[in-house]
Structure 1
């Protein structure tokens, strides 16, 4: 795990150093609106736990480009899997990614998202820096990587400050998944089995 964190931190440092320093109010507004709605979906007292998860997943499906993320995290193997394997993998990955986001953000359900600033990497690629405020003072820094043009923005990675380390989730997953595939002759079945197990573990830890 430590080497994954080091890899993710190194990648995030390189990512940050490559960014030109100018802001994009449009992507900031996009993240402000949608991130707030995502957190609000976790806090509806009229919904059951299953209904909240369904609402959260529906928001995240619109807010994030999970197909792009799923391809990124397996790198070269996205071109080596058969169509059937890729379909099964994407289904498993979607369930896992949504479980990760829900588990990490659930402690901040209903809280306020405040946009601090943003930096454009290109005309279609921005990093929006936010903080999720909590009444107990345990705020969390969250960075959202947004790609696309106005009217078609989607998030392709999220960085959370976990235990003092800023971790880009897709970068960390990429290191883990590619290592597993490299060690198992590129077996889609073994990767999917591992992803399903990780998803089940996260769901078992989820708040009611």
Structure 2
């Protein structure tokens, strides 16, 4: 569950953007915005429900949640997808409030940007927590009509959205593909 929690926190924090500049001109600007927004919210060592909601208001939760469903997204009804998306949003907010406080007083440093293909890059960073421990974190950032958005995060050698998808697939497989059962488990 720790890895799942970090996945949720990294993804949700990583997809947040400053309210002043929704369209980000560069992948690095996205990461800079992420660090500023997250550190501002964590100045008091906690993340309130409103702050978590603020972060999530800037996340394309539907796109991420649909990817996490994998092949089951094609068989789910609109009502099941709506219920699941609501549960996924709540899950992310809860995970943010529970675990993102561990990064209060920390910092981000951009180390490099590697282009995978035009409009799809990986921004390599070093995240330093309040204890001074440096953690390498890579952010996959993709351009959607000129708006750079984070679509995955690598931590400890795992691409976290892909790991989340594998965990969801296991739950779905165990429940005969019942998206409602997954939503209930979140």
TM-score bucket (shorter structure) = 0.7 to 0.9
Larger helix share, 1 or 2 = 1
Q: d(CA) in 2 for partners of 1:122 and 1:72?
A: 20
Write the deviation string for residues 38-57 of structure 1: whole angstroms up to 9, x where unpaired: 23212247xxx57x332233
By how many angstroms is 1:130 displaced? 1.2
CA contact (8 A) 1:28 1:117 kept: no
Structure 2 unaligned regions, length at least 5: 5-24
Q: Paired residue for 2:51?
A: 55
Q: Paired residue for 2:30?
A: 30
Select 1:91's aligned residue among 86, 89, 104.
86
Cα RMSD after superposing both structures: 2.7
Counterpart mapping for 1:1-208 below 5 A: 26-44=26-44, 52-62=48-58, 64-149=59-144, 151-160=146-155, 165-195=156-186
By how many angstroms is 1:105 displaced? 3.3
Write the deviation string for residues 32-85 of structure 1: whole angstroms up to 9, x where unpaired: 12232123212247xxx57x33223312431x3221111111111111110000
Q: d(CA) in 1 for partners of 2:80 and 2:115?
A: 35
CA contact (8 A) 1:39 1:105 kept: no
SS of 1:186's equivalent?
coil
